[in-house]
Structure 1
Amino acid sequence: MDAPTWQMIEAVFLEALDLEPEERSAFVEARCVERPDVGGEVLAMLDSHVRSELRVERLLGDSPGPDPLDLSGQRIGAWRLERLLGRGGMGEVWLAERDDEFHQKAAVKLVRPGWRAAELVSRFRHERQILARLRHPHIATLLDGGVASDGRPWLAMEYVDGAPINRWCTERHVSLRDRLRLFRKVCEAVQFAHGNLVVHRDLKPANILVTDEGRPVLLDFGIAKMLDPDDTSAALHATRPGERILTPGNAAPEQTRGEPPTTATDVWALGVLLYELLSGEPPFAAEGRSPEETERRVREADPSAPSSRAPAPEVRWIRGDLDAIVATALRKEPERRYGSVDQLSEDVGRWLAGMPVRARPDSLSYRTRKFLSRHRLPVAAGALLLGTLLAFAIVSTRQADRIADERDRAHEERERSEQVLQILVDLFEQANPELHAGGDSLRIADILTMGEDKLAGLEDQPAVQYRLYETFAAIHGARGRYEEARAALRQALAAAERAGLEDAVLTDRHQIARVTRTLEGKDVAAPLFLESLHAFEARYGPTHPDVAAALVDYASSIPDPDEQLALIERSLAIRRNQSPVDSMGLASSLNELGRLRWDRGEPDSARAAMTEALRILTAQLWPDHPAVLTVSLNLAQCASRIGDFEEAERRQLAVLEGRIRVFGDGTSPVAASHQALGIVRASRGDFADAERHLR
């Protein structure tokens, strides 16, 4: 049997396992109508699987003890499993609670017993890798992860107590406008994922839960695709011949043909979701049809307009603009859809604001109708007087000019974004060994050098230069190349000044000050931070989040402890009064307050501030995040200095284990943690173990 055939057998088998037993045979026959040999193999595997389960059930039936597959009450990492939330063909999700120092609920996902094939385990780790890079209020947060004692990988995600978005809207009789606002929040999350080079590939109501408070949360990145040259598992997770992991009725035409996913794939899925939110039913209902028939309709048939299926009271609002928006998102050719999720969301926003949408052909009569719809009462009153009619004509002309100006600005912004994206894509393709057979893949340093060479030729496009130089500066900084990061930031600053981007100019100057502090020390950075603080206050006022950040940076760079304390307390006041609160910014201010209180000889106040910072960070980030480890280390040092060596040892050990997972054994951060733990254990009289860590 050749590899593609086996891959198709495996893919169909796994899809069938997600169905009820009585539905599997019909599904396999329909799925494999053109490959009966594949269907026969899959049915045989399913039969063997069922017989194996029956044998297990018979064995368990003879045992008076509890079901060994019931994990209720068992611990995985810091989590105690409470009850099963759901089970699929190869994975299961448990409600769990963390009941150690921090009480928190989570959804713990792990591979089902017996499903430890290398590829499934790798896909599971792939999902964890994707979630680790996605921190957004509308994406389920990764809290923790690891490997269970039986060898199964697991991950703990934010537990979302909600309902699928379509059901949530129906049960609460959500208005049309509120449904569209909810949809835009989903778009915001998907665009954020795309900005991090992640395509979801399986957007559907079941993967978008809405909480009682109305917060939509995007779930299940199990088959997401990373468009990243540094994704070392790219070859494994690429779409292969015979393997099509998709949801019929929601999948884009190119997915049904087995083509590689792009951001346009998610634009299609959002179009399907918008169709259902408008009409109450999906455009390509799969009920009563085989998967092949559903996929054929997706590729060949155009669905009726959502207004034709919508509830009668809403038809007049959906017909026209909203129909056109959905039709644009659901074009068969990916290149003819919206160019990004942002563009789709923007058009929905324009409809909500009564503005012309880009999915409709532009014309003076169309713009005039939209103007009338936005200003019904003034125009109706003005129509009584001939002079007002003339004034309306003048206003209409100005309105048309304003819309044209706005369209031109948006067009320029879109062109800049597309240029930035194209340059990055070109660089990533240079690093893709699949596109350059016979050569080694390029290192990140090579890619950055090539990118900076390209930027030198964009002097006439300073806004594009600014965005790319900022991107390269962030990459240099993450790699510890601070001189290169500062050089790139200075280039970004110069480009922002040429482009007239005033906010970007202030931000870049502040970032340069931060890198300067790392390279040259606090004394050199202090006047730069003070300059940034005054500039932020002048532009945004005294209570802006950027002012709070600048206060912390300036306080950390000056020697006067009383002035430091006043600045930090002012920063905290700004953070606590924000709505919504910037949790990460608040944690940063609290950690700095704790450090300052400690230096002033106030250990109880210091530990209280740092403990609050750690609580916030632990709720937002995964346990091994550098920010979590930094605050944990500060608390360990506080405990050690006041003689609480038991707490100091516990925290130092946790930091050491986290650094080993993040940096690997033999690295300087791990060596520093070994030394710190050795000192604590020596203080407790455990000299033998202390020597082992201090060697």
Structure 2
Amino acid sequence: MPNPKNRLKVIKGLFDLCADAPVNERDTLLASSDATPEEQHEVKRLLTLHNTVDSNAQQTHIIGQQLRALSQSMPAGQMLGPFAIEEEIGQGGMGIVFRARRADGNYEQHVAIKIAPSFASADELQHFHQERQILARLQHPNIATLLDGGATDDCRPYLVMEYVAGKAIHEHCLAHQLGLKARLHLFIEVCKAVSYAHNHLIIHRDIKPENVLVTSQEQVKLLDFGIGKALQGEADRTNATALRGMTLAYASPEQIRGERTTMSTDVYGLGALLYCLLTGHSPHGLDNNSAEQAVEAICRTETTAPSRAQVDTGGIEDRRSLRGDLDNIVSKALRKEPDRRYASVSELQRDIERYLNREPVLATPPSFVYRAGRLIARHPAASALAAAVVIAINLGLAASLYLADQLRTERDSLLDAQREIKRQMYTAERTTALLTDMFEAASPARAQSRTVSVDKVLEDGARKIRETLDNDPAVKSQLLKSLAQLNYNVGKYHDAATLQQEALQQLETAARLQTGLRVTEAAHMRAELLIGLGRYQRESGAVNGAAAALEEASTLLEQYPDKRLQAQALHRKGQLISRVGSPDEAIEVLNTAKHIWQQMPDQGGALGLANSHSLSNAYFNKPDFPMAAETESVVLAERIKLLGESHPDTLNSYRFVARSYMRVGRWQEARELAQRAYQVSGKIFSTENKIFRHSAITYARLLGRLGDFQAAAEVLNPFLTGEVRELETTAELYHHRGYFNLNLGHLAQARADLEKAVDILGKIYPHNSDSTFLPRANLGEAMAVTGDAASGIELINQVKQENIVQYGADDYGVASWNLRLARIALHTGKLQEASELNQLSRSINLKTFSHDHPIVLQNDETEMRIALAQGDTLTAIELCKRLIETYEGIFPRDAPIIGRLQKLLRNMRNPV
């Protein structure tokens, strides 16, 4: 009797051959094949089906038939490793799932086993293996855990997963008649699972109710990463492949069109899932076989709001509870354009939490009435009492005051307008005079053959302003503010902060003298100065002062609102939090600012783009490198259009995209962008300018990653000659030059540089700030290799514990500190300890980075050097060859690290 598995392969292969051939040639192909009459009959039946149903339904039905045939070939009791098959519990285009139990007698355990179909193509098998790699990286209470894996007797791969005894989330809600709040709490748990996957650079791409189970203990489990995608350098599959794996009813527009999928694709999937939980059906009411309807509905038809949608069994019957915020949240998640959806799953999750807490949500346009309504909802009793008092007072006064107020308003408006025109004209005249004097001072006639520097011009300008205009402090304040901005632009952050504080003092004097400034106008001028002061102090390292200035500005703007200034204050606050606090908190603040900018006609222009630029930086710190690269790429394109390619802000974006590309493995593009930012910045700025410094650091880091430590150090040397100010950027320069010198073997210089870096940062940040982690750990390694091993190890362990407290034990930073400890153990001859620490580092790194990422390759190189130290030259040679091949696949061929490893390989093969 023929093997049913082999028979299925023959039928599938012959069907594929005939389906692609002209109809008049199919009989000839069938007759000339080795298939039996029964197999040929089955092929003819499938071809008939192929010609009579629509293009997507035919694949669905044919695959379904094959899977049913396959399921019969895996009978109950059949063993796969230590597990005995019990029954089939699910099937789809990417495999079939069985419930099984452990039968080796060790302990009782039920599992789910997913087996690849016997007819799977090479591409489908590749993605089955990818699912195993994805699941191995994900350890989360809301994600089904991978337990084991293997292959059947006929070489079909299978996965052994945690068995989840539960119902699909929509069925669970129906069975337990859950209310709105309970459903939203379940949805939040799904968001946490997806957000965790995104943090590990994985997108799911098939979020639907059937892939979210809820146990009897109300625990949510996300299943099936069969068409999931790792974000580090992996291209999307073809549209045809993706369509076979995904569920059309919950697919995003970009999936339907075969475009690139990103984290925003999962935001759409979560929006579709939420829609189902609220209404009982998918956003467009489609079944999986309606391909043409799906393309039209998903890509072009606007989704009916949940509160107006027809409710199926299992949806929320009270439609009024869905109006407003929930309609807006779902609408934002289901936008056709990915960049108009929530920026991240965490942002969607937080909006749901805000809704549950009766707080304003980002998806609803802000207004006084809306925010007041949310406040009243949170505090109904107090709000009712306050309203009653206000109404009673205002009704008594309104009639008598109305007419007088109208007359006063018209009179005051005319007088204010006259005063403002005069003040602006006078300010313009004084500014013109100041600028004329400043530039005349630099003219050849006045300079008398002396070279007049920019610093000298700015110092003279500040002196003249300070010595004049004492009788007009409001104008003096404006001129000091302009000069502060000029100093900031050339990198003189301390001077900028000093001038801005003087501007604030002059404004206070003007207010005391009652020089004609209205209260609201004076408040807005003060808020603007405080926002600028917060920015300058942050850049100069005065973090506490910056926080205080921004807090005062925010308080003023609550009393005297101004949307543009409020967005600026939130932006600067988000930047500060990103540097000294939680990236998630910074992202939330910056997204709030972004929402305000988006309400403006120009979306904030250059200021709105600066906010998105800071948002990209916060994502990088999170670390969400793909989102950082995606966000900054959009900013770069917009800045080129708005500002030009050589504008300082555009150069900053080139640098930011470059460093994000380094993290996701796009090395050639990263090198081109980083080199451009560095070279153009050098033509525009002095070595004290922050943009030039950061561009140099990014370019040097890239050169260091490619293995050219000498060139990297030479890039930084010009910034650290002569008198060097103790700025944060100075600390970064010393830190990176110290690291490069450490790798070059210049140990004394390396330790000196790293000690300076840590000393400067210690004056700026708290001792446990993550901004100090890397410099302190590198200093620890330098101390160890220069004879102070105990102190160096103690310092690295201290950093490691602080990292664990802030970000958890599986953070990739912890892996970095373990690697340094491994290298120290290798240096001191403790080879077993070195091997254990290196393996621990690798296991943590692989939760964030792919096997071929340079950060993981550092573990491979350390393993090679440990093998060499143990005298295992053959293993070291094999590891070295593998490293060279991997680097050649990801780096440009001229990367020095490749040449260095090739030289090492030759020396190992032919020792002197």
Q: TM-score under structure 1 normalisation? A: 0.61
Tell me the equivalent position of 1:300: 301
1:534 paired with 2:773, answer no
1:480 paired with 2:707, answer yes
Q: Deviations over 1:525-546 (max 9, x none)?
A: 2233223333444444333455
1:239 paired with 2:227, answer no
CA distance in 1, matches of 2:564, 2:46: 52
3-state SS in 2 of match to 1:357: coil
Assess, with a 3 A threshold, how the Cα gap between structure 1 residues 446 and 615 changes in structure 2: closer, same or farther: closer
Q: Deviations over 1:107-132 (max 9, x none)?
A: 997744453x4443455577689899
Tell me the equivalent position of 2:195: 188
Assess, with a 3 A threshold, how the Cα gap between structure 1 residues 569 and 480 changes in structure 2: closer, same or farther: closer
Tell me the equivalent position of 1:204: 208
1:581 paired with 2:809, answer yes
Pairwise CA distance, 1:610: 5.1
- Counterparts in 2 of 1:318-329, with a 5 A limit? 318-329=322-333
CA distance in 2, matches of 1:91, 1:617: 31
1:368 paired with 2:593, answer no
Assess, with a 3 A threshold, how the Cα gap between structure 1 residues 538 and 359 changes in structure 2: closer, same or farther: same
- Counterparts in 2 of 1:272-287, with a 5 A limit? 272-278=272-278, 282-286=282-286
Tell me the equivalent position of 2:227: 222
**Which residue identity is paired with 1:238?**
T
Assess, with a 3 A threshold, how the Cα gap between structure 1 residues 570 and 244 changes in structure 2: closer, same or farther: closer
- Counterparts in 2 of 1:425-574, with a 5 A limit? 445=668, 448-449=671-672, 452-453=675-676, 476-482=703-709, 510-519=735-744, 521-558=746-783, 559=786, 560-574=788-802
1:629 paired with 2:638, answer no
1:420 paired with 2:632, answer yes
Assess, with a 3 A threshold, how the Cα gap between structure 1 residues 423 and 562 changes in structure 2: closer, same or farther: same
Pairwise CA distance, 1:398: 1.8
Tell me the equivalent position of 1:72: 81
Assess, with a 3 A threshold, how the Cα gap between structure 1 residues 659 and 164 changes in structure 2: closer, same or farther: farther
Assess, with a 3 A threshold, how the Cα gap between structure 1 residues 114 and 598 changes in structure 2: closer, same or farther: same
Conserved? CA contact 2:97–2:115, under 8 Å: yes
Conserved? CA contact 1:239–1:258, under 8 Å: yes
**Which residue identity is paired with 2:707?**
G
CA distance in 1, matches of 2:280, 2:728: 43
Pairwise CA distance, 1:305: 1.3
Tell me the equivalent position of 2:541: none
Q: Deviations over 1:255-291 (max 9, x none)?
A: 4455665665443222112324555654345569755
Structure 2 residue corresponding to 1:614, chosen from 822, 839, 844: 839
CA distance in 1, matches of 2:362, 2:228: 32
Assess, with a 3 A threshold, how the Cα gap between structure 1 residues 43 and 88 changes in structure 2: closer, same or farther: closer
CA distance in 2, matches of 1:530, 1:345: 42
CA distance in 1, matches of 2:392, 2:249: 52
Assess, with a 3 A threshold, how the Cα gap between structure 1 residues 381 and 661 changes in structure 2: closer, same or farther: farther
Q: Deviations over 1:526-584 (max 9, x none)?
A: 23322333344444433345545443311211222343244244345545655633554
Tell me the equivalent position of 2:466: none
- Higher gyration radius (CA): 2
Assess, with a 3 A threshold, how the Cα gap between structure 1 residues 578 and 651 changes in structure 2: closer, same or farther: farther
Q: Deviations over 1:305-341 (max 9, x none)?
A: 1597597798766431122111122244556545665
Tell me the equivalent position of 2:561: 401
Assess, with a 3 A threshold, how the Cα gap between structure 1 residues 278 and 612 changes in structure 2: closer, same or farther: farther
Higher relative contact order, chain-length normalized (CA < 8 Å, sep 6+) = 1
CA distance in 1, matches of 2:112, 2:902: 31
CA distance in 1, matches of 2:899, 2:149: 21
CA distance in 2, matches of 1:147, 1:671: 39
CA distance in 1, matches of 2:876, 2:261: 44
Pairwise CA distance, 1:251: 1.2
3-state SS in 1 of match to 2:561: helix
CA distance in 1, matches of 2:50, 2:731: 58
Pairwise CA distance, 1:247: 0.7
- Counterparts in 2 of 1:127-146, with a 5 A limit? none
Return the structure number with greater helix share: 2
CA distance in 1, matches of 2:695, 2:167: 38
> What are the ranges of 5 or more consecutive residues in structure 1 without an aligned counterpart?
10-24, 75-79, 98-104, 428-442, 642-647, 677-691
3-state SS in 1 of match to 2:777: helix
- Counterparts in 2 of 1:350-365, with a 5 A limit? 351=355, 355-365=359-369
3-state SS in 2 of match to 1:201: coil
**Which residue identity is paired with 2:789?**
P
Assess, with a 3 A threshold, how the Cα gap between structure 1 residues 590 and 35 changes in structure 2: closer, same or farther: closer
**Which residue identity is paired with 2:795?**
L
Assess, with a 3 A threshold, how the Cα gap between structure 1 residues 303 and 615 changes in structure 2: closer, same or farther: same
- Counterparts in 2 of 1:85-104, with a 5 A limit? 88-91=92-95
Q: Deviations over 1:202-237 (max 9, x none)?
A: 233455678989787685263649695xx5x66xx3
CA distance in 2, matches of 1:30, 1:145: 38
Conserved? CA contact 1:32–1:39, under 8 Å: no
CA distance in 2, matches of 1:527, 1:34: 75
Q: Deviations over 1:380-421 (max 9, x none)?
A: 55456559999xxx9998268387655453233554358721
3-state SS in 2 of match to 1:249: helix
CA distance in 1, matches of 2:886, 2:80: 29
CA distance in 2, matches of 1:489, 1:107: 56
Tell me the equivalent position of 1:271: 271
Conserved? CA contact 1:556–1:564, under 8 Å: yes
Conserved? CA contact 1:275–1:306, under 8 Å: no
Q: How many pairs align?
A: 598
Assess, with a 3 A threshold, how the Cα gap between structure 1 residues 637 and 258 changes in structure 2: closer, same or farther: closer
CA distance in 2, matches of 1:29, 1:324: 47
Give the share of equivalent positions with the same residue, in percent.
Answer: 22
CA distance in 2, matches of 1:658, 1:213: 47
**Which residue identity is paired with 2:225?**
D
Q: TM-score under structure 2 normalisation? A: 0.49
3-state SS in 2 of match to 1:203: coil
Conserved? CA contact 2:142–2:219, under 8 Å: no
CA distance in 2, matches of 1:508, 1:157: 49
Assess, with a 3 A threshold, how the Cα gap between structure 1 residues 637 and 207 changes in structure 2: closer, same or farther: farther
> What are the ranges of 5 or more consecutive residues in structure 2 without an aligned counterpart?
1-14, 24-43, 103-109, 395-519, 521-554, 572-592, 595-607, 617-629, 640-665, 890-897
Assess, with a 3 A threshold, how the Cα gap between structure 1 residues 520 and 637 changes in structure 2: closer, same or farther: closer
